[in-house]
Amino acid sequence: MTWSMDFVMDALASGRRIKCLTCVDDFTKECLTITAAFGISGVQVVLILDSIALFRGYPATIRTDHGPEFTCHALDQWA
């Protein structure tokens, strides 16, 4: 099982920026999560992955673009 994760940026009408973490199962193309927040840290990414894994099991591989949220120590320990 392989998941792909990435961030999508947007802005509210007020101009405040938001981040959306997306996670997709590469085989089924099912969206596992879209989590929107004003900021998402590496620790929060780990918590989101744990909540997905409770229902789906842990993936063999996770694909990312190696952005700062995905290269943190917390995510390394989770893997």
When divided into structural domains, the chain yields a total of: 1
Which CATH number do you get for residue 28?
3.30.420.10
Q: How far apart are CA 1 and CA 25, in angstroms?
A: 7
- 22-73 pLDDT, tens per residue? 999 999 999 999 999 999 988 999 999 999 999 999 999 999 988 777 877 8
Residue range of the domain that includes 72: 2-78
Bridge partners of 3, per DSSP, are 25, 62
Instruction: Tell me the C-alpha distance between 44 and 29, whole Å.
Output: 23
List of residues 6+ apart from 46 with CB closer than 8 A: 74, 75, 77, 78
Note the pTM of the prediction, 2 decimals. 0.85
